[in-house]
Amino acid sequence: MAKMHIKTGDTVVLLTGKYEDKKDENGKIKTHKVIAVSPEEGKVLVEGVNIIHKHVKPRRQGESGGIVDAEGAIYASKVALYCPKCDKGVRTKAEVSYVEKDGKKKRVVTRLCAKCGAKL
């Protein structure tokens, strides 16, 4: 199982492919939300990216089949975490701290932007 730099719910920027680093009408970089992460495969599902057409068979009587649009998985190396302060996709670094609660130490890992140091 590989360690992932992306987690479910993160805001990301695409680095390659037809959705890469495109800007919207206001000149801001387009960001996308991560729906799911698969560390075993090293892939992520990103909202509105890599749309595939699934042919679905009806499973019960009266249920309709057809073609369903769904997000396909892309490699995690093709996305970068979005930093709102830098307004671009950035690499991350981890800051480890220990918090004492009820006499027990708890390890807390915070992800930071490698450029500006903002919390992500």
Q: What is the pLDDT of residues 74-108, one digit of tens each?
A: 999 999 999 999 888 899 999 999 988 888 888 88
For 89, which DSSP code?
E
Scanning the structure block, which residue is given the tokens 């997000």?
71
For residue 21, the model assigns a pLDDT of 61
Cα–Cα distance between 4 and 104 in angstroms, integer? Answer: 27
DSSP output for 44-73 = EEETTSSEEEEEE---STT---EEEEEEPE
pTM exceeds 0.75: yes
For residue 35, the model assigns a pLDDT of 96
For residue 17, the model assigns a pLDDT of 82
**Three-class DSSP category at 97:** strand
Query: Please, what are the domains in the chain?
Result: 11-89 (2.30.30.30)
- For residues 37 and 13, the answer to whether their CB atoms sit within 8 Å is no
